[in-house]
Every structure is written in C-alpha cells, then in structure tokens.
Amino acid sequence: MSDKKVKKTGEEKQESDRDFEQLKNQVEEYKNKYFRALADYQNLEKRVDGDRENIGKAVQVQLLMKLLPFVDNLDKAEVFVKDIGLKLAKDHLLKIFQEVGLEELDVINKEFDPYTAEVIDLVPGERDNIVVEVLRKGYRLGDRILRVAQVKVSKKVNPQTR
C-alpha cells in the first residue's frame, strides 16, 4: 500500500507541476495583455492630447481669420475718422493679437516674396521687385502664414524707353 501511496503522490506531484506550469503561463499571458493594454491606453492619451491641441489651434486660426477683415476696416476708418476711442479699440485688439502670437508681415521696402505677398499692381521704380506699398496687411501665426499681404511692387523703368 505504501508503494501505491508513493506512486499516487508522484502522479499528484506531476499533475500539480503541470497545473503550476499552466497557471504560470496564464499569469505571463495576462501580464503581457496588461502591458499591451497599458501601452495602448498611453498611446491613446497622447493622440487625444495632440488632437485637442490641434483642434484648439484650428479654432484659434478660424477666429483670427474672421477678425482680420475687421482690423482692415479699422485701419481704413482710422484714415478718415480721427477718434481716440477708435485708436484705443484698434490698439487693444492688436495687443490681443500679439499676445496670441499673431504678427504682421513686414514686407514694405523689401524684395517681393510670393510666399508672403500677392502682387496687386506694378508701379515704376528704381529697382525691380521691391514692395513699395501695402494695400492689405498680411499676418503670420508662429511659422504659418495666415494671410499674405496684397502689395504694389516696383518695376525698374528704363530711362531710354521714356
């Protein structure tokens, strides 16, 4: 009877070892699934944060684009109406633009650049391709051009053709 008991104990040990191995494999499998799920979740968080930032920038750009014609009208009105209130309102709006990073493109008296300006008219001048007048201001937000300037550009006049 003791041989049977020893044999049974040996079989039980083998079965117990198999069960232990199966449990160990299951734990490893669950651990791998957990780490994959955690990595997926962290990637999702990064993607959502990036999307949120991109949406915020897009909304900001849309709002600024809608306000730019208003600033153009304030510039035009300022030529005819000499009112301190109008100037204060315009300056306040421009200060807000500056705070969010909107910058006016500086193109006057510089060589024409098709990425920052659009030629509306050619005028006689001493040198070719120099911006001599800005008809509508252009703006940049960070490294992105929101609106190109509309300009008049000089065209060198040959004295012999006059």
In the three-class reduction of DSSP (H, G, I as helix; E, B as strand; rest coil), residue 123 is classed as strand
Residue that wins the pLDDT comparison between 20 and 157: 20
Cα–Cα distance for residue pair 141/74, rounded to 1 Å: 20
Edge to edge, the sheet with strand 117-125 lists: 117-125, 149-156, 131-136
State the pLDDT confidence band at 11, using cuts at 50, 70 and 90: confident
Tell me if 158 sits within 8 A of 114, measured CB to CB: no
State the pLDDT confidence band at 158, using cuts at 50, 70 and 90: confident
> In order of start, what are the domains of the chain with their CATH numbers?
1-100 (3.90.20), 104-162 (2.30.22.10)
For 25-79, how does the pLDDT look when each residue is reduced to its tens digit (9 = 90+)? 999 999 999 999 999 999 999 999 999 999 999 999 999 999 999 999 998 888 8
Residue 1 pLDDT greater than 60, yes or no: no
Cα–Cα distance for residue pair 18/25, rounded to 1 Å: 10
Q: What is the mean pLDDT of residues 133-162?
A: 88
Tell me if 107 sits within 8 A of 117, measured CB to CB: yes
**Taking the model in full, what pTM does it have?**
0.69
User: Would you state the pLDDT for residue 93?
Assistant: 92
For 110-139, how does the pLDDT look when each residue is reduced to its tens digit (9 = 90+)? 999 999 999 999 999 888 999 999 999 999
Instruction: List Cα–Cα distances, 82 to 66, 67, 73, 135, 137, in angstroms.
Output: 25, 22, 14, 20, 21
Tell me if 64 sits within 8 A of 146, measured CB to CB: yes
